[in-house]
Amino acid sequence: SGFGGVNQLGGVFINGRPLPHEVRHRIVELAQHGVRPCEISRRLRVSHGCVSKILTRYNETGSIRPGLIGGSKPKVATPTVVQKILQLKHNSPTMFAWEIRDRLVLEQVCDPSNVPSISSINRIIRRKVQAKPCEDDFYMPSLPLSDVCASVLAASSVSMGTDCPSESRFSIGGIVGLRKFNKQNEDKGQKISG
């Protein structure tokens, strides 16, 4: 029930319907013979985006079948798969998502038809890493707050090449009220010693 049309390359298509199986097969066949996607697009009069999508799906799943129209995809990132992805990344932090994907199939955690895509693997890693902050990120030295802030300001003044950040009109100390905090501490110190 889609509208038929002619694309910019002169190819005929039906909007919202998958490309015929024969054309999909020819796209993969040409790519395997070393023909570049842009050339395949011109020869078969199929948009470059469509060619890329079919080749990506073929490389990821080994299938040239179109995706389902409507409905939702079955979830392939089961807790077991997610756990294995995180374990592989933890054991080998420099491992790429495509290598993790290959290992999931090799170790028979998934089969080629249900292995997560590279983008899904990257998303899983990104979300889990952000959800579990490293303990080092929350290391707080046992110094008073004023000393911690002062050392941060001193470090920033060295990196910015300024002599004294607290004397600047615009400083982090002014924003967070550090000068006021330090001034109160100095007053308290003078009252105690004086």
pTM over 0.75: no
H or E segment and range at residue 57: helix 48-61
Q: pLDDT category, 113, cuts 50, 70, 90?
A: confident
Which one-letter DSSP state was computed for residue 107? T
Q: pLDDT category, 70, cuts 50, 70, 90?
A: low
Output the CA–CA distances (angstroms, integers) from residue 37 to 27, 29, 98, in the order listed. 8, 11, 21
Q: Is CATH 3.90.330.10 the classification given to domain 4-61?
A: no
Across the strands, what pairs with 5?
13
Calculate what percentage of the chain has a pLDDT beyond 70: 52
- In the chain, CATH 1.10.10.10 sits at 4-61, 79-135
Can you tell me the distance from the alpha carbon of 194 to that of 190, in angstroms, rounded to the nearest whole number?
5
Please state which CATH number belongs to domain 79-135.
1.10.10.10
Output the CA–CA distances (angstroms, integers) from residue 139 to 79, 128, 142, 143, 165, in the order listed. 30, 20, 9, 12, 24
What is the token pair recorded at 180?
């006021």
Residues 6+ apart with CB under 8 A from 80: 109
pLDDT digits (tens, 9 = 90+) for 7-23: 555 555 555 566 777 88
